[in-house]
Structure 1
Amino acid sequence: MSNLSVSRSNVLYQASLMSALLSGVYEGDTTMAQLREHGDFGLGTFNKLDGELIAFDGNIFQLRGDGTARRATSDQKTPFATMTFFNPTNEYKIDCPHTREEIHQVIDKVIASQNSFCALRIDGEFSRVDTRTVPEQHRPYKPMLEAVKQQPTFHIENNRGVLIGFLTPEYMQGINVAGYHEHFINEARSSGGHVLDYQVERGTLKFGTVEKLMIDFPWDTDFLNANLSPENLQEAIRAVES
């Protein structure tokens, strides 16, 4: 394990709330160009839940419901996304197979508190990445718990790629996704999705905590009428994310 110097303070920018997405608020006004103003690294989704969003090195890709990937255009919009300028403070060389749980244990042992946000990135060779991507939705929108019932799952094997994600404290459940939330794209930038599980054979893990959080709230009719505090919030988020 080695330490990397911090060049600037990390700020986590968030468009909307996870609880809004859960309630069917699937359209936002934040464009990809606007997201880039707030970071070069992040994840989220696209309007109408049309695939997963993964951003790194200033590039934003759309991971679609058929398992393919493509570069996002600047005018595409998101109903929910999290972005930051990635400034890792720790680096860990992966020279033997690590499961998802083992990678998380490496991070958990280093970060000072489970009350901190943490951004992470793995560049490496993956023997297995299990993903899913929700297909594009149409009005009248179903709650996300119903929408994910139609989601296809994919099993990507023996691929190099980039996995990025965030560790979010439990007290932020509903505002974001508590725990680890990760997306993957392969080296060819042709496939990927929301990560369910993985095993990385070798590569590099970089991670660091985030010090500040900024949220932009939408003010459209869908958001203003949404139930953002459902009784089953915890169970619903766990169900749609796992």
Structure 2
Amino acid sequence: MTPLSVSVPNVLYQTSLMSALLSGVYEGETTMAQLREHGDFGIGTFNKLDGELIAFDGNIFQLRGDGTARRANPQQQTPFATMTFFNPTNEYRIERPHTREELHQVIDNVVASQNAFCAMRINGKFSRVDTRTVPEQERPYKPMLEAVKEQPTFHFDNIEGVLIGFLTPEYMQGINVAGYHEHFINDARCSGGHVLDYQVDHGTLTFGTVEKLMIDFPHDKDFLRADLSPENLQEAIRAVES
């Protein structure tokens, strides 16, 4: 494990809430250009849930329901996204195969508290990556638990790419997704998705904690009328994210 020198405090910017997305609030006014004002690294989705969002090195990509990927248009909008300026404080060289759980344990062993956010990135050769992507929805919108029933899943073998994500504290469940939430895109930038599982043969893991959280709340009718604290919140988030 190699510590990295960083002097800039990290701020996590978030638009809307995960509980709003669960309730079918699939349209937001925040553009990709506006997201870039708040970070160069992040994950989220697009209006109408038209694919997953992955951002790193200042680039934002749209991971679509057919498994393909493309660069996002600056004017595309998102109903939910999390962004930061990535300033990792630790580096771990992956010199043998590691499962997803083993790499999460590497981070857990270094992070001082499970009550802090952590941003993480893996560049490497993956022996396998399993992903899914929710297809584009149309009004009247179904709750996300119903929408994900139609989601296709994809399996990649022996693929090089970038995997990024966040570790979110358990007390933030519903505001964001508690635990690890990760997205993947291949080096050709032509395929990827929301990560279900993976194994890395070799590469580099970098990560660092985030000191501040800033949330922009929507003001449209869909959000104001949404049930943001349903009884099955915990089970619903686990169902749609796993």
Q: Tell me if both proteins adopt one fold, taking TM over 0.5 as the criterion.
A: yes
SS at match of 1:161: strand
Please give the TM-score of this superposition, normalised by the length of structure 1: 1.00
Q: Percent identity?
A: 85
Q: Residue 49 of structure 1 aligns with which residue?
A: 49
Cα distance, 1:178 vs structure 2: 0.1
Question: Runs of 4 or more off by more than 2 Å in structure 1?
Answer: none
Instruction: Deviation per CA, 1:90-146: give whole Å up to 9, x if none.
Output: 000000000000000000000000000000000000010000000000000000000
Cα distance, 1:7 vs structure 2: 3.1
Aligned length: 242
Q: Residue 161 of structure 1 aligns with which residue?
A: 161
What is the root-mean-square deviation in Å for CA atoms of aligned residues? Answer: 0.3
Cα distance, 1:202 vs structure 2: 0.1
SS at match of 2:131: strand
Instruction: Deviation per CA, 1:152-175: give whole Å up to 9, x if none.
Output: 000011110000000000000000
**How far apart, CA to CA, are the structure 2 residues paired with 1:34 and 1:5?**
28
Q: Residue 38 of structure 2 aligns with which residue?
A: 38
Q: Residue 108 of structure 1 aligns with which residue?
A: 108
Cα distance, 1:63 vs structure 2: 0.1
SS at match of 2:202: strand
Instruction: Deviation per CA, 1:199-237: give whole Å up to 9, x if none.
Output: 000000000000000000000000000000000000000
Q: Following superposition of structure 1 onto structure 2, how do residues 1-242 of structure 1 map, counting pairs within 5 Å? A: 1-242=1-242
Q: Which amino acid is the alignment partner of residue 43 of structure 2?
A: L
SS at match of 2:20: helix
Please give the TM-score of this superposition, normalised by the length of structure 2: 1.00
**How far apart, CA to CA, are the structure 2 residues paired with 1:58 and 1:4?**
20
Structure 2, unmatched stretches of 5+, are: none
**How far apart, CA to CA, are the structure 2 residues paired with 1:54 and 1:140?**
27
Structure 1, unmatched stretches of 5+, are: none
SS at match of 2:73: coil
